């Protein structure tokens, strides 16, 4: 049997997976992926994402407004997010964050949305799920200021930012999640950031259907492929794969305690 492992971030409600979910779940199980968190990126889609967690074995969910959609979607409220969090299989707040790569013109709205999600994470005790791209300085500032005002838990999903943001996140007690990007041949600098982090702060994910790791790069990603990223992670930490998988399992259960 393959070591048990969790895909901590995927998007099973996306159209790339339509009508194929039972097969995707079966392939994940064959690869040792016994659990996954599917992420709602627009709150109007929450009922459909919640339903996936209720019908697919081993699937939990999280909900928030993706920063690239923050200006197009109704602004979430703390109360709305807290109400969603009452569902027994809803385990995280987000994904939220800042993305200045394509949507820098909506910085102010993104920052307002991020602060709302932080407060919801603080009130519910669920981990915040952060998307960060080309926004390291503002992300560092907001996460630090907010944590000073009141602690909360957090994972930097699909971490691919610089060492300064990684250091800030780790100093705040947050986790870094390793996606297929960390397995790309030219991601040596990113792997160095992960190698310098404490092992007990590392998660693994696919962000499926995006960012498939080698040997599937360029194809549709799916939860089974998180095992390839985790094997690269084991190499980064100089560990046996089974031991690395066990470590990331313990980390996931510590952060996403509601998913145990």
The band of 30, judged by pLDDT with boundaries at 50, 70 and 90, is very high
The band of 252, judged by pLDDT with boundaries at 50, 70 and 90, is very high
Is the pLDDT score of 63 beyond 90?
yes
Tokens representing 140?
């560092």
Cα 253-259-190 angle, rounded to 5 deg: 50
Confirm if 167 and 143 have CB atoms less than 8 A apart.
Answer: no
How far is the C-alpha of 260 from the C-alpha of 253, rounded, in Å?
6
Is the pLDDT score of 19 beyond 90?
no
Instruction: Evaluate the omega torsion of the peptide bond into residue 98 and state whether it is cis, within 30 degrees of 0.
Output: no
Instruction: Evaluate the omega torsion of the peptide bond into residue 49 and state whether it is cis, within 30 degrees of 0.
Output: no
The ranges assigned to domains in the chain are 5-259
Q: What is the DSSP string of 44-91?
A: GGHHHHHHHHHHSTTEEEEE---GGGTTTSPPP-HHHHHHHTTSTTEE
Tokens representing 107?
């910085």
Percent of the chain residues topping a pLDDT of 90: 98
The band of 10, judged by pLDDT with boundaries at 50, 70 and 90, is very high
The band of 122, judged by pLDDT with boundaries at 50, 70 and 90, is very high
How far is the C-alpha of 190 from the C-alpha of 92, rounded, in Å?
25
Residue range 144-151: mean pLDDT, rounded: 98
pLDDT at 1: 86
Q: What is the DSSP string of 233-246?
A: HHHHTT--HHHHHH
221-247 residues labelled b (16+ CB within 10 A) or e (exposed): bbbbbbbbbbbbbbebbeeebeebbeb
Residue range 106-124: mean pLDDT, rounded: 98
Contacts by 47-55 with C-beta closer than 8 Å and gap 24+? 48/13, 49/12, 49/13, 50/84, 50/87, 50/89, 50/90, 52/12, 52/13, 52/21, 53/87, 53/89, 53/90, 54/89
pLDDT at 137: 97
pTM value is 0.97
Coil/strand/helix, residue 105: helix
pLDDT at 12: 98
Confirm if 192 and 165 have CB atoms less than 8 A apart.
Answer: no
Residue range 212-233: mean pLDDT, rounded: 97
Residue range 134-150: mean pLDDT, rounded: 98
Q: What is the pLDDT of residues 172-201, one digit of tens each?
A: 999 999 999 999 999 999 999 999 999 999
Mean pLDDT of the chain: 97
How far is the C-alpha of 142 from the C-alpha of 60, rounded, in Å?
28
Contacts by 230-236 with C-beta closer than 8 Å and gap 24+? 230/5, 230/178, 230/204, 232/178, 232/182, 232/183, 232/191, 233/178, 233/182, 233/194, 233/202, 233/204, 236/182, 236/191, 236/194, 236/195
pLDDT at 116: 98
The band of 152, judged by pLDDT with boundaries at 50, 70 and 90, is very high
Q: What CATH homologous superfamily does 5-259 map to?
A: Metal-dependent hydrolases (3.20.20.140)
């Amino acid at each position: 049997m393959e070591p048990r492992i969790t895909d901590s971030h995927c998007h099973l409600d996306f159209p790339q997976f339509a009508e194929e979910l039972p097969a995707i779940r079966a392939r994940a199980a064959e690869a040792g992926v016994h659990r996954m968190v599917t992420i709602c990126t627009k709150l109007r889609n929450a009922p459909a994402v919640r339903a996936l967690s209720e019908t697919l074995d081993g699937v939990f969910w999280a909900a928030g407004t993706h920063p690239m959609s923050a200006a197009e979607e109704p602004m979430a409220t703390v109360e709305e997010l807290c109400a969603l969090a009452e569902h027994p299989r809803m385990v995280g707040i987000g994904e939220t964050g800042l993305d200045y790569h394509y949507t820098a013109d909506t910085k102010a709205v993104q920052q307002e949305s991020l602060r709302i999600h932080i407060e919801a994470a603080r009130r519910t005790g669920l981990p915040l799920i952060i998307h960060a791209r080309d926004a390291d300085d503002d992300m560092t500032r907001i996460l630090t200021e907010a944590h000073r005002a009141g602690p909360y838990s957090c994972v930097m999903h699909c971490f691919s930012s610089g060492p300064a943001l990684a250091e800030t996140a780790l100093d705040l007690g947050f986790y870094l999640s390793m996606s297929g990007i960390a397995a790309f041949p030219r991601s040596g600098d990113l792997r160095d950031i992960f190698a310098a982090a404490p092992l007990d702060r590392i998660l693994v994910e696919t962000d499926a259907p995006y960012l498939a790791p080698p040997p599937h790069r360029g194809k549709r990603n799916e939860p089974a492929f998180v095992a390839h990223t985790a094997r690269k992670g084991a190499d980064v930490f100089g560990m046996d794969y089974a031991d690395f998988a066990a470590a990331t399992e313990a980390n996931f259960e510590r952060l996403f305690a509601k998913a145990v």
